[in-house]
């Protein structure tokens, strides 16, 4: 029997597709430092489980399709810190940020429509949009520019009658780039001038370094009807497995129709919503301490990469990722070689090949994404292994 063209067109995750190779390496006795996936090692705040344990009920009932009121209120308060005021009907709780991306795509695009996305981009954007026969048109950004956006006229050239939205993550995954205010205003101008939606993925907001602050698109005035903000507790609060996200917008018509999608999948897990509400109530000091830890790790990675011959890397300013150009022809082949053929005192590392974060053929072939989600000691060790691995690999390729 034939499978659908739609499912066959979806690519494997560049973040997860090499996991079986890493599993074999570990079965063969190697220790693998996983720098391939954005799974924080920072402990989930205790308030998450405390809120769940204190939830007293005889029956775990269906939650509201829109989400638990306690969580919606907590997200309202979170945005109020930046003077962004959402009504309770402007927020819908989703099964992670992933479902929020899917719902936003369904709501603004018909099959055959397109979304503009700066590349390199979070690889699952491609999977999520392809599920609904929606295309991605890339706004190509370059390492030498710190992965910042090109000029307005270059973006406008990409807009066609099929273009329905611009989507981006800020701070960026996989680049770690934080958009400047002038870039955000430029995107807002384009959206208004060409009647497009802006889908702003703000999962990593608050995770910024060097005194920078990741500004929400919700602070930009005049785009309320155009703006869709995607939220999640996964990264900011180190609660990836909770699978709690949200879609937020002042566009009443949009939200009323997205609610139909929420009703069709019934609801999000009740207990995880209760726990997530407690996370959103944490003070800013929690986020500040968390980003201080990630900045230390960023510095370890950036300083190490900067001293590796042939490696090109711009200093990331947010999230916990870095894209680097390696002195190899094919980064994926190098990563596989590291897992299968190389070890240093019984240890090796796993990176994510960056080609899967691009949609333009050929781009990212010699690049890798590093997720600095391990503690300082482990990150230093992993960078040392990478340096020695590159030296050994270059010798066998001569």
- Determine whether 189 is exposed, middle or buried from the number of CB atoms within 10 Å of its CB (0-12, 13-18, 19+): middle
Residue 54 and residue 51: Cα distance in Å, rounded? 5
Q: How do 114-119 and 91-95 pair as beta strands? A: unpaired
pLDDT digits (tens, 9 = 90+) for 130-148: 999 999 999 999 988 999 9
Task: Grade residue 15 by pLDDT with cuts at 50, 70 and 90.
Answer: low
Rounded to the nearest 5 degrees, what angle is found at the Cα of 381, between the Cα atoms of 379 and 387? Answer: 105
What pLDDT shows up at residue 167? 98
Residue 238 and residue 320: Cα distance in Å, rounded? 12
Closest CA to 277 of 63, 104, 85, 84: 63
Residue 74 and residue 62: Cα distance in Å, rounded? 20
Q: Percent of the chain, pLDDT > 70?
A: 99
Of 7-11, 121-125, 230-234, 272-276, the least confident: 7-11
Give pairs for 147-153: CB < 8 Å, separation 24+. 147/118, 147/120, 147/172, 147/175, 147/177, 147/314, 147/323, 148/177, 148/179, 148/180, 148/183, 149/118, 149/179, 149/183, 149/186, 149/187, 152/186, 152/189, 152/190
pLDDT digits (tens, 9 = 90+) for 60-104: 999 999 999 999 999 999 999 999 999 999 999 999 999 999 999
Between the two ends of the chain, the Cα-to-Cα distance in Å is 47
What pLDDT shows up at residue 4? 87
Distances (CA, A) of 301 to 3, 210, 233, 296, 386: 43, 15, 25, 9, 11
| Domains in the chain: boundaries | 5-43+285-396, 47-283
pLDDT (average), residues 36-40: 90
Residue matched to tokens 């301490």:
289
Task: Grade residue 313 by pLDDT with cuts at 50, 70 and 90.
Answer: very high
What pLDDT shows up at residue 234? 96
pTM for the full model?
Answer: 0.95
pLDDT (average), residues 313-333: 95
Residue 259 and residue 152: Cα distance in Å, rounded? 34
Class of domain 47-283: alpha beta
| Model confidence at 398: pLDDT above 80 | no
Count of CA atoms in the C-beta half-sphere (13 A) of 356: 22
Tell which CATH architecture fits domain 5-43+285-396.
Alpha-Beta Complex (3.90)
Residue 169 and residue 229: Cα distance in Å, rounded? 10
């Amino acid at each position: 029997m034939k499978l659908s063209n739609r499912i066959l067109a979806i690519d494997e995750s560049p973040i997860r597709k090499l996991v079986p190779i890493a599993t074999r390496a570990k079965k063969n006795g190697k220790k693998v430092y996983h720098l391939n996936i954005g799974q924080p090692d920072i402990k989930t705040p205790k308030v998450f489980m405390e809120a769940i344990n204190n939830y007293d009920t005889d029956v775990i009932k269906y939650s509201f399709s829109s989400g638990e009121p306690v969580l919606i209120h907590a997200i309202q308060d979170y945005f109020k810190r930046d003077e962004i005021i959402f009504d309770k009907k402007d927020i819908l709780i989703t099964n992670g940020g992933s479902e929020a991306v899917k719902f936003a795509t369904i709501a603004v695009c018909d099959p055959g429509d397109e979304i503009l996305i700066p590349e390199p981009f979070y690889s699952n954007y491609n999977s999520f949009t392809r599920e609904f026969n929606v295309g991605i048109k890339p706004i190509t950004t370059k390492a030498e520019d710190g992965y910042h956006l090109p000029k307005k006229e270059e973006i406008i050239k990409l807009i066609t009658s099929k273009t329905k939205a611009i989507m981006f993550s800020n701070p960026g995954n996989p680049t770690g780039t934080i958009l400047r205010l002038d870039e955000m205003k430029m995107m807002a101008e384009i959206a208004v001038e060409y009647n497009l939606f802006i889908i702003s993925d703000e999962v990593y907001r608050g995770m910024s370094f060097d005194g920078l602050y990741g500004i929400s698109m919700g602070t930009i005035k005049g785009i309320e009807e155009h703006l869709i903000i995607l939220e999640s507790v996964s990264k900011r609060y180190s609660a990836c497995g909770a699978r709690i996200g949200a879609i937020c917008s002042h566009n009443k018509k949009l939200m009323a129709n997205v609610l139909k999608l929420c009703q069709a999948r019934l609801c999000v897990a009740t207990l995880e919503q209760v726990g997530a509400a407690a996370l959103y109530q944490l003070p800013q000091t929690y986020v500040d301490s968390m980003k201080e830890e990630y900045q230390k790790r960023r510095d370890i990675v950036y300083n190490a990469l900067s001293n590796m011959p042939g490696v090109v890397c711009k200093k990331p300013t947010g999230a916990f990722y870095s894209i680097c150009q390696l002195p190899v022809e094919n980064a994926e082949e190098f990563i596989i070689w590291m897992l299968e053929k190389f070890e240093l005192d019984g240890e090796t590392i796993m990176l994510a090949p960056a080609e899967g974060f691009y949609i333009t053929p050929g781009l990212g072939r010699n690049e890798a994404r590093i997720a600095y989600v391990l503690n300082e000691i482990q990150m230093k060790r992993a960078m040392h292994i990478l340096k020695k691995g590159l030296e050994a690999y270059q010798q066998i390729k001569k």
